[in-house]
Amino acid sequence: MIRHARSVITVCVLSAALAACGTADAPRGGDTAVPSTPAPSPPAPPTLAPGPAGLTPVFTSGPRTGGKTVALTFDADMTADQGPRAAEGERFDNPQLIATLRALKVPATVFMTGRWAEQYPIQARGIGRDPLFEVANHSYSHYAFTADCYGLPTIDEDRMRADVERAYTAFRRAGVPDAKPYFRFPGGCYDQRALRALSATGVTAVQWDVVGGDAFATDADAVARQVLDWVRPGSVVVLHCTRSAAPTTERAIRTIVPELRRQGYRFVKVSELIGAVASGGLT
């Protein structure tokens, strides 16, 4: 499967046209050309040990010592009931942002909703198959897992686990081969009940220590300043990959990235920071 994936990526690069990558599902016949030798499975992504009573562990930032690393994370938001708005032309994606991250060679973690992957399967697949990025779970519906969370509709406790699993199904259907076992609560809202409801999924919940403030922002410089003011070694920055709700993010990134590099920071994916903590790095 990995070899097959590589060949698909190569075709995409050569054609230099995302549209030429076709729809999410590769034709069945394409698999017959793949050698039957099974590809080695990639190493399991690092996760944190469960909390007390098996609760879903929560990760907020990486080690503060041992190097200037920072993880940029982008929430690809789309709520389950926003389909009609997308049909009318509202854009919940941000391909220019992804292109800029690629041009600047910035590794990043994209917390994607399942609904987003259904709406933009070619982009989801392109992000999921690009080694520069990793796809993580931001729920299927983008409904809140607690009451009173930024006005989001609330999901019932007995549907929480299924909502997370439905997002992974949506990623697979879009062609994302190995979405990570990391979950970001919509709005970052969670409580003990939500952590308990998700314990059987094996995910590590991922919060952040730096709010980019790009949601509904109109001033890219203000977003960049906020990020630059708050980043410390090991920081996890939350930003968005959703043009309609975060139109300045791509411009802010063009300021943030060179400045943090000038300061000696190295951009990493969340999995690297979780791995550093799981292997004994101190936070």
Counting every residue written for the chain, the total comes to 283
In this complex, which beta carbon is closest to Zn ion, that of residue 77 or of residue 163? 77
Least distance in angstroms from the C-beta of 36 to Zn ion: 41
**Span interacting with Zn ion, options 9-17, 67-75, 86-94, 261-269, rule CB under 5 A:** 67-75
- Closest distance to Zn ion from the beta carbon of 83 (Å): 17
Work out how close the CB of 186 gets to Zn ion at its nearest, in angstroms, rounded to a whole number.
5
DSSP 35: -
Contact 112, 167 (CB under 8 A): yes
- Kindly state the smallest distance separating residue 140's Cβ from Zn ion, in Å: 12
Q: How many CB atoms lie within 10 A of CB 42?
A: 9
Where is 257: in which H helix or E strand? helix 249-262
Report helix, strand or coil for 248.
coil
- Interface pick for Zn ion out of 57, 70, 75, 86 (rule CB under 5 A): 75
Q: From the CB of 216, what's the least distance to Zn ion, in Å?
A: 13
Does the protein bind Zn ion through residue 214 (CB under 5 A)?
no
- Which one, 5 or 98, has the nearer CB to Zn ion? 98
With respect to Zn ion, which residue has the nearer C-beta, 77 or 250? 77
The strand pairing partners of 25, in sequence order, are: none
# binding residues, Zn ion (CB under 5 A): 3
118 binds Zn ion (CB under 5 A): no
Q: Which two tokens stand for residue 231?
A: 């980043």
Q: Decide if residue 130 touches Zn ion (CB under 5 A).
A: no
Nearest to 250 by CA among 260, 239, 265, 261: 239
| Nearest to Zn ion of 75, 93 (CB atom) | 75
CB of 12 or CB of 239, closer to Zn ion: 239
Can you list the pairs that 82-85 forms with residues at least 24 positions away whose Cβ atoms lie under 8 Å?
A: 82/115, 83/115, 83/119
Residue 232 sits at the vertex; the CA angle it makes with 231 and 238, to the nearest 5 degrees, is: 40
| Interface stretch with Zn ion, choices 18-26, 68-76, 102-110, 256-264 (CB under 5 A) | 68-76
Q: Nearest Cα to 145, choosing from 243, 49, 211, 58?
A: 58
Q: How far is the CB of 163 from Zn ion (least distance, A)?
A: 13
Residue 76, helix vs strand vs coil = strand
Is 250 one of the binding residues for Zn ion (CB under 5 A)? no
Task: Please report how close the Cβ of residue 106 comes to Zn ion at its closest, in angstroms.
Answer: 20
The residues that touch Zn ion, with contacts defined as CB under 5 A, are 75, 77, 186
